[in-house]
């Protein structure tokens, strides 16, 4: 039966949302603070009774919390997690619960899979600007790409892919290894279907260094934007450095102009394999019409031979699905096929902006017109590097 969802505690039965003290929930205790983000704080949590027969929760979790009065974004993120449940390359969500502190303040909590390996950003930082071994980069890239493909095939765009939002979860099959999983869907949005006039989005979602040219120039944030961001992440893994070499005196406006113009693309690293270079070329195409989709990239030699042990996609049965899945998660097959060129039309009226990487390792060539300068973001409208939702032209 379709209808508005009832709040649930964890993954249990349909019941009114319960309240417990701020030290934890009904079945879990709150631990130390792991980090803070734009939409809440993340804490370590453990089960109050690890030997309980309630096997739905793992012994250790990460709990993302926000005051109920300021939890709209976190509740929306929970809805996205429900729509994407079942992919082994996306952080698992175990449910939601509301707690109350000693002063009566109520907190909304989302219970998530704990990533004991930290973030991909932390791992890259440990390389001291050298980068990760290419074999590891291939494995992590394949995992991230599988997650992106799942997200896009379910009608969503992540909008903030970056190393800080890629979490490393202990492998269930190989001791000492980690699986890269996509997390933080606070800025995710629904894709817009083909043949529908694109609505103007007054906000740019994400982090500037990972934004695609069409995002900066034309406010477009659709599946190809995640592919561009993936290229930035892969390049960062390979080199230990961010895709754009930003000098201390460069302003955010200058960086956005550089990205949005489309004349210049991130530089090709000379020390990586041909397969890695080819993969990056498919991601860093200024015109999103010619940028590879996640499905296409899965066939690239750089990742096609990677064996991901333990990765099984879990289909949620009808009995386990929540009532509002039909209304929130309905998608068409158009998002999962390779008929991409017919579905998306982001080309500017002023011409094409197709600018693939050249084979010259010293730089980039741009062989057609660059992105239009239309709808340029005004000065002082954005933060510099952190995740943000920023006014475009405000």
Active site residues: 160
Q: For 124-129, which contacts have Cβ atoms below 8 Å and span 24 or more sequence positions?
A: 124/163, 124/236, 124/237, 124/240, 127/240, 128/240, 129/239, 129/240, 129/241
Residue whose pair of structure tokens reads 């992440």 in the numeric block: 233
Range list of H helices, 290-336: 294-297, 301-304, 325-329
Cα Rg of the chain (Å, integer): 21
Q: Are 5 and 14 in contact (CB under 8 A)?
A: no
Length of the chain: 394
Strand pairing report for 19-21 and 93-100 = parallel
Q: For 164-167, which contacts have Cβ atoms below 8 Å and span 24 or more sequence positions?
A: 164/119, 164/120, 164/121, 164/387, 165/119, 165/387, 166/119, 166/120, 166/121, 166/140, 166/233, 167/91, 167/113, 167/115, 167/117, 167/118, 167/119, 167/120
Separation CA 244–CA 74 (nearest Å)? 30
219 CB contacts (<8 Å, ≥6 apart)? Answer: 200, 201, 202, 204, 375, 392
Separation CA 262–CA 372 (nearest Å)? 9
Burial of 85 (0-12, 13-18, 19+ CB in 10 A): buried
The response to whether 4 counts as a known ligand-binding position is no
Separation CA 328–CA 319 (nearest Å)? 17
Range list of H helices, 44-133: 72-83, 120-126
Could you tell me which residues are annotated as the binding site for ATP?
A: 64
Could you tell me which residues are annotated as the binding site?
A: 64
């Amino acid at each position: 039966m379709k209808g508005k969802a009832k709040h649930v505690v964890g993954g249990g039965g349909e019941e009114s949302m319960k309240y417990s003290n701020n030290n934890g929930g009904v079945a879990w205790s709150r631990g130390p603070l792991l980090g803070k983000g734009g939409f809440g704080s993340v804490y370590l949590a453990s089960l109050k009774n690890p030997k309980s027969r309630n096997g739905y929760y793992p012994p250790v979790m990460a709990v993302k919390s926000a005051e109920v009065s300021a939890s709209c974004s976190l509740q929306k993120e929970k809805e996205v997690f429900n729509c994407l449940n079942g992919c082994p390359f996306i952080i698992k969500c175990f449910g939601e619960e509301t707690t109350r502190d000693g002063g009566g303040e109520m907190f909304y909590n989302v219970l998530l899979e704990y990533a004991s390996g930290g973030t991909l950003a932390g791992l890259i930082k440990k390389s001291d600007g050298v980068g990760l071994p290419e074999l590891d980069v291939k494995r992590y890239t394949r995992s991230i790409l599988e997650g992106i493909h799942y997200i896009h095939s379910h009608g969503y765009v992540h909008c903030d892919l970056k190393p800080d939002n890629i979490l490393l979860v202990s492998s269930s099959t190989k001791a000492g290894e980690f699986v890269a999983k996509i997390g933080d869907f606070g800025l995710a949005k629904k894709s817009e279907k083909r043949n529908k006039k694109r609505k103007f989005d007054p906000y740019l979602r994400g982090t500037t260094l990972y934004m695609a040219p069409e995002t900066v120039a034309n406010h477009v944030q659709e599946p190809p934007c995640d592919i561009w961001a993936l290229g930035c992440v892969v390049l960062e893994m390979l080199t230990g450095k961010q895709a754009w070499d930003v000098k201390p005196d460069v302003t955010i406006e200058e960086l956005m102009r550089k990205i949005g113009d489309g004349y210049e693309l991130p530089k090709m690293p000379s020390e990586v394999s041909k397969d890695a270079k080819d993969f990056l070329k498919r991601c860093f195409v200024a015109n999103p019409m010619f940028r590879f989709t996640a499905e296409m990239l899965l066939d690239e030699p750089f990742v096609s031979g990677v064996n991901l042990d333990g990765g099984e996609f879990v289909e949620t049965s009808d009995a386990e699905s929540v009532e509002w899945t039909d209304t929130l998660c309905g998608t068409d097959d158009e998002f999962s096929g390779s008929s991409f060129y017919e579905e998306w039309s982001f080309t500017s009226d002023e011409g094409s902006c197709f600018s693939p990487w050249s084979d010259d390792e010293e730089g980039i060539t741009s062989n057609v017109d660059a992105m239009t300068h239309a709808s340029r973001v005004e000065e002082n409208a954005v933060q510099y590097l952190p995740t943000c939702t920023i006014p475009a032209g405000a």
